Amino acid sequence: MNDPASPFGLSRRGLLAGLAAAPALAASGEPVLAQAAGPRWTPQQAQAALKDAKGTKLVLLGTAAGPVPGRTREMTSHVMLSNGAAYVLDCGMGVTNQYARTGIPFSALKSIFITHHHADHNIEYGPLLIVGWIQGLPLGVRAFGPPPLRQMTDDFLRAYRQTVEFWAEDLKMTPLTSVGVQEISAPGVVMQDDNVKVSAILVEHPPVKPALAYRFDFKDRSIAFSGDTAPLEAVAVMAKGADVLVHETMYLEAVETYIKDQIAKGRPVKFEPFMAHMKADHTPIEDIGRIAQKAGVKTLVLSHLTPAIDSISDDTWRAPAAKHFKGEIIVGKDLMVV
């Protein structure tokens, strides 16, 4: 990235270098998403897309499913930027670095939302708070998610109290001692501010209860997220008429091949229970196409990719969904701006 301290102050040289590496630009000046190669955009591409953006933007910070380190895609997280305010959804490992790479200042971060308490969605929630605080996160930041989010937040801040105090005393900063948490156990409107109305529904992700899907209605754009779920009619209902649906994505045949290979290499899982879990908890691509078509969304973003391996082409991910969904289909990439 160019200069993390002045996120939108890209130098002309930096901007041009970023554009040189960027995918082709449409007449609008926005990157042509379908031509972005590889599993991730560069920070320069993301920053350029945000700098030129008119209206609300979504950045896919991490597009991989599962708590697996060391991949080219990070675990699941997103940030939405609207009218200068940032909203993070999910905090898989990598969220803090990826957020910084977008160039969005930490001071812009208003609220953090968690879909459910699997590690690939929440493991970096605490570090985002502490590192974010050092970088200017507002003390009034709020967090929303299933119980026991309040206890988790309090416990984490207690565990890191001395770490926070060292900086606070040394640098004369106001310490981050608490975060306003709202726990969500039932469907309905979660919060509303000047920019957005956020609502949630319960999804099917056993044994995790509650697991949530969210819909963000900004003034100019609506963005829905399935969270982690088995195929669910309720997701189509929630996403009805949305501009964008970000749906978790499972390529079942590739998962079978992948896990057999992992087991052969000594990974301590058993094939039958693993596949039973995947089928009960996640959504095959064909079903996503049906759900998106039923919802009538403009754009479907395939993300939380399972398996998150680079050898699967975009066309392979897209084709089964395209059988049923006639709108735009985007295969999610880390740092992609939608």
Quick one: which segment of 51-59, 170-178, 228-236, 260-268 binds Zn ion (CB under 5 A)? 228-236
Question: Which residues fall within 8 angstroms of residue 85, CB to CB, at 6 or more apart?
Answer: 108, 110, 193, 194, 195
Which three-class secondary structure string do you get for 5-59?
CCCCCCCHHHHHHHHHHCCCECCCCCECHHHCCCCECCHHHHHHHHHCCCCCEEE
73 versus 118: smaller Cβ distance to Zn ion? 118
Chain centre to alpha carbon of residue 152: 20
The residue range among 122-130, 169-177, 227-235, 256-264 that interacts with Zn ion, by the rule CB under 5 A, is 227-235
Q: Which of 124, 204, 228, 287 binds Zn ion (CB under 5 A)?
A: 228
Burial class (CB in 10 A: 0-12, 13-18, 19+), 183: middle
Least Å distance between CB 179 and Zn ion? 23
Residue 196 or 278: the one with the smaller Cβ distance to Zn ion is 278
Closer residue to Zn ion, CB minimum distance, 270 or 277: 277
Contact stretch for Zn ion (CB under 5 A) within 119-127, 130-138, 158-166, 311-319: 119-127
Helix, strand or coil, per DSSP, at residue 281: helix
CB of 118 to Zn ion, least distance (A): 3
Tokens (6 digits) for 294: 């039923």
Nearer to Zn ion, 18 or 39 (CB): 39
Measured from the CB of residue 33, what is the shortest distance to Zn ion in angstroms? 23
Instruction: For Zn ion, give the closer residue by CB, 139 or 276.
Output: 276
> Could you tell me the smallest distance in angstroms from the CB atom of residue 5 to Zn ion?
33
Of the candidate spans 45-53, 97-105, 112-120, 290-298, the one that interacts with Zn ion by CB under 5 A turns out to be 112-120
Q: Which of 211, 215, 194, 214 is nearest to 202 (CA)?
A: 211
**Region from 26-34, 59-67, 148-156, 180-188 binding Zn ion, contact rule CB under 5 A:** 59-67
Using rule CB under 5 A, residue 314 touches Zn ion: no
Shortest Å, Cβ 228 to Zn ion: 3
Q: What is the closest distance, in whole angstroms, from the C-beta atom of residue 335 to Zn ion in the complex?
A: 19
Comparing CB distances to Zn ion, the nearer of 103 and 307 is 307
Per DSSP bridges, beta strands 180-183 and 57-62 are unpaired
Partner residues linked to 220 by β-bridges = none
Minimum distance between the CB of residue 69 and Zn ion, rounded to whole angstroms? 14
Determine the residue type at 317: W
257 Cβ neighbours under 8 A, 6+ residues apart: none
* φ/ψ of residue 200, rounded to 5: -135, 155
Q: Is 120 in the site for Zn ion (CB under 5 A)?
A: yes
> How many chain residues bind Zn ion (CB under 5 A)?
4
Min dist CB 320 to Zn ion, Å, is: 20
Q: How many CB atoms lie within 10 A of CB 286?
A: 16
CB of 302 to Zn ion, least distance (A): 14
Closest Cα to residue 2, out of 49, 33, 62, 45? 45
Which stretch in 30-38, 104-112, 174-182, 220-228 sits in contact with Zn ion by CB under 5 A? 220-228
Asked if 78 interacts with Zn ion (CB under 5 A), we say no
**Sequence-separated (6 or more) residues with CB below 8 Å from residue 76:** 62, 63, 64, 65, 90, 92, 120, 121, 303, 304
Binding mask 132-151 for Zn ion (x = CB under 5 A): --------------------
Amino acid at 59: V
118 binds Zn ion (CB under 5 A): yes
Greatest alpha-carbon pair distance for the chain in Å reads 59
**Where along the sequence are the contacts to Zn ion (CB under 5 A)?**
65, 118, 120, 228
